[in-house]
Amino acid sequence: MTADDTFGRLDDDDYPAYTMGRAAEMLGTTPGFLRALGEARLITPLRSEGGHRRYSRYQLRIAARARELVDRGTPIEAACRIVILEDQLEEAQRINAEYRRAAESANPTAAE
């Protein structure tokens, strides 16, 4: 592994860099909350060689949004469903924007 590979991981939102304890600390929550998100299948952390959970920055953003909803009184199962739907909507909007840009570049007069 080269230094470039190592530093490249620092920019990778999907690289599982955070332990459960560190992730919980960063989110201001408990490891139990993170386990509950895993049980609800909102996030599935990767496991280290020793079997410890490791979380990515992307997973931490998802967990932070779930925590925000739970803190407002939303049951955890409902919060997880809301976060999943929000994530799906964001992805659909991104894909739609890509299609729109591709269509406009293929037919520039249609955009006028």
Residue 52 to residues 16, 20, 25, 35, Cα–Cα distance (Å): 11, 8, 16, 12
The answer to whether position 1 is within a domain reads no
Mean pLDDT of 84-105: 96
Taking the whole predicted model, whether its pTM rises above 0.75 is answered as yes
Look up the CATH number of the domain holding residue 56: 1.10.1660.10
Determine the Cα–Cα distance for residues 31 and 40; give it in Å rounded to an integer: 14
Exposure of 63 in the CB half-sphere (CA atoms within 13 A): 28
pLDDT of residue 111: 52
pLDDT in tens, 3-58: 556 566 667 787 888 999 999 999 999 999 999 999 999 999 999 889 999 999 99
The answer to whether position 75 is within a domain reads yes
The answer to whether position 4 is within a domain reads no
Question: Which residues span the domain enclosing 37?
Answer: 10-111
The answer to whether position 5 is within a domain reads no
Do residues 66 and 80 touch, judged by C-beta distance below 8 A?
A: yes
Do residues 29 and 18 touch, judged by C-beta distance below 8 A?
A: no
State the average pLDDT for the chain: 90
The string of DSSP letters for 41-85 reads TS---EE-TTS-EEE-HHHHHHHHHHHHHHHTT--HHHHHHHHHH
Position 112 pLDDT exceeds 60: no
If one counts the domains in the chain, the total is 1
**Both structure tokens of 25:** 């600390």
The answer to whether position 2 is within a domain reads no
pLDDT of residue 56: 94
The answer to whether position 3 is within a domain reads no
